[in-house]
Amino acid sequence: MAEKKRNRDLSGEDLPEKTIGRLSFYRRTLQRLLEEGRERIYSHELAEICGNTPAQVRRDLMAVRNEGSTRKGYDVTMLIQGISEMFEFPIGKKIVLIGVGNLGRALMAFFNRRRPGIVISDCFDVDPKKTKKKILGRRIHPMKEFSRIAAEKQFGMAVLTVPASEAQGVADQIVEEGIVGILNFVPVTLRVPPWVVVEDVDMTMMFERTIYRTHQHLLSGPNK
Amino acid sequence: MAEKKRNRDLSGEDLPEKTIGRLSFYRRTLQRLLEEGRERIYSHELAEICGNTPAQVRRDLMAVRNEGSTRKGYDVTMLIQGISEMFEFPIGKKIVLIGVGNLGRALMAFFNRRRPGIVISDCFDVDPKKTKKKILGRRIHPMKEFSRIAAEKQFGMAVLTVPASEAQGVADQIVEEGIVGILNFVPVTLRVPPWVVVEDVDMTMMFERTIYRTHQHLLSGPNK
DNA sequence: TCGTGTGAAGTAGTTCACAGCA
DNA sequence: TGCTGTGAACTACTTCACACGA
């Protein structure tokens, strides 16, 4: 536990938001490169592939504290392993999905495949009509069974894709049952206790941001 | 040497990335409030609802140059209108979706409804099997018809949800046909000419970021 | 009096530039 | 020699705090 309490403490503490995102992307990129037989890589090569700068890559990778980086660049396998450790969910904690609408189903299908490390353990819905049939080969549980099943299966994180009007109610309910991380696709600001992490993803916002930026870019910079 | 220090941005020039996102969210929030009969709002109220600070709200709204803000707060209708103008896509330019997999279908369904201002005009897929049948009541065009249909319909922006292996090829093709904005859901860094805007959205990254932050939060701050 | 608009101060994230190692 | 790791400088974003106006 006695880490070196030097000036800068970068080893695996709280990383910048942006860095976390890039590390996730580096990992998948590296995984692909590894499959293609690549064993070592320079910061400038990874930067080129990922569309950023060598300095950025090196700075990001400081968080991985990988050692073993000689003048022959980084060891791809080691890097992947280092990053993977950061994205591992506490053992025994599972991920649930709540809300089997369009987006929910898309996410189910998306992570049904062999996505590295991300497995959706169970699916729920507030709408009783949806809980009758199986969807994508999975049984959809009604929300009123959440408590029972949560106790049994130890859920840690939830993906929320319910209608806006239901979001806060569902959030309250699942937090009650021990959920500590929420990936929230609902465009509503959730109120949760301080020990719960909420990460918001807003599809409409993403469309609008692209529209704005494209429009702006057309107006201001057709020269470059 | 090039001294381009425009002290203050003129209203509606290039906004900070983050601000654009929040404005999009403010708009939808305000729309809801308006429907509930709300006509005026203070920065501290909007901040409360959106989970940020009054100073942040005021700073963001400076971009909207709304005038008319008396001591009775902002005029909700005016604000909505002001923000809406920013997110309007150039008249006559349409949005297409390419790749009708799970995610593509979810987005189709999502924006099929009366989402304000966002309409997906046409859908394409590289896979000939998908272009036989209608999906969600819409015909799916094969990519080889892109050129013809694009010329006819004037596409401006594309949503990309194709397999990773196809992404760059499709990007090249659509840029050729006049697409200037891409909302890219494929975890690949696209190479495009400088006049094209690419906005990346990476689902896996979002999961992993939530996982990381939740994990970290559990470790470091159960006290707070 | 109370909220907005905004310089100015503060914080987070990025890039530079160079020492040091293999 | 050519790359990594990293202080230091820089840029982008957020928050503070206060003058101003209804």
**pLDDT over 90, % of chain A:** 76
Q: What is the mean pLDDT of residues B60-74?
A: 83
* Protein residue closest via CA to C1' of C16: A55
Contacts of residue A208 in chain B, CB cutoff 8 Å?
A: 20, 24, 87, 118
pLDDT higher than threshold 90 for residue B200: yes
Q: Which pLDDT value is given to residue B24?
A: 97
CA distance A200 to chain B (A): 9
Work out the mean pLDDT of chain A and round it to a whole number: 89
Taking the C-alpha atoms of residue B73 and residue B140, their distance in angstroms, rounded to an integer, is: 48
Window 73-102 of A, Cβ < 8 Å to B: 86-90, 102
CA distance A214 to chain B (A): 5
Residues 6+ apart with CB under 8 A from A77: A34, A39
Taking the C-alpha atoms of residue A173 and residue A100, their distance in angstroms, rounded to an integer, is: 17
Distances (CA, A) of A56 to A51, A62, A69, B171: 10, 10, 16, 26
Work out the mean pLDDT of chain B and round it to a whole number: 89
Q: Which pLDDT value is given to residue B7?
A: 34
Report CB contact under 8 Å: A118, B215: no
Distances (CA, A) of B28 to A25, B13, B19, B148, B196: 30, 22, 15, 36, 27
- What is the distance, to the nearest Å, from the Cα of residue B13 to the centroid of all Cα atoms in its chain? 18
pLDDT higher than threshold 60 for residue B223: no
CA atoms within 13 A on the CB side of B108: 26
Q: Which among A105, A182, A218 has CB closest to B106?
A: A105
pTM for the predicted model, two decimal places: 0.92
Contacts of residue A195 in chain B, CB cutoff 8 Å?
A: 217-218, 221-222, 224
Q: Is the CB of B71 under 7 A from strand C?
A: yes
**pLDDT over 70, % of chain B:** 90
A118-177 pLDDT tens trace:
899 999 999 999 998 899 999 999 999 999 999 999 999 999 999 999 999 999 999 999
CA distance B154 to chain A (A): 15
